[in-house]
Amino acid sequence: MASRLTVIFYILLCLEAGLFLTLLPWWQPWGMGDWGDNFFLVMVAQKTGFIGLQHAVASGWVRGAVTGVGLLNLAMAFWEMFHFNETVRKLQGADAQPYKPQVETRVAAQPLPTADTLPTPPPAQDVQSARATDHVPHHSGRNE
């Protein structure tokens, strides 16, 4: 259920962003004024001192680029609508390989080692000869 809602909300988001980005550069809804002559753009241009920003945003090139991004959003929304079930299945993990546990193959039981077959450590050296051969200084601590 959550994967279906996720895909539905994604489609709605793409549709809304696509419609606004496609239409707003060319349309003046609710008396908002021209695309390049809005309050926030004028304020940002005046605060930063970059008056050319307002002229750049008002140009047809930027309007066309924003419209292109809007059309891409609309295309994504329609693609997701046509592939709704496939996307839901992928979100649920249905396209993943099913889990197959590894079957352990057991080797024939070998007898446990006896005391005479265990490896024996080399003969113990005395402490003085061991200290002389390791070339590391051994300083005695407070307790020694």
Give the model confidence (pLDDT) of 42-101 as tens digits. 888 888 888 888 888 888 898 899 999 999 999 999 999 998 888 888 888 865 566 666
Give the model confidence (pLDDT) of 4-46 as tens digits. 888 899 999 999 999 999 988 888 776 666 777 777 888 888 8
Instruction: For the chain, give every domain's residue range.
Output: 2-92
Q: What is the DSSP letter of 11?
A: H
- Other C-beta atoms closer than 10 Å to the C-beta of 8 total 14
How far CA 88 is from CA of 2, 4, 39, 91, in Å, comes to 9, 6, 42, 5
Give the model confidence (pLDDT) of 3-13 as tens digits. 888 889 999 99
* Res 9: pLDDT: 93
* Res 86: pLDDT: 87
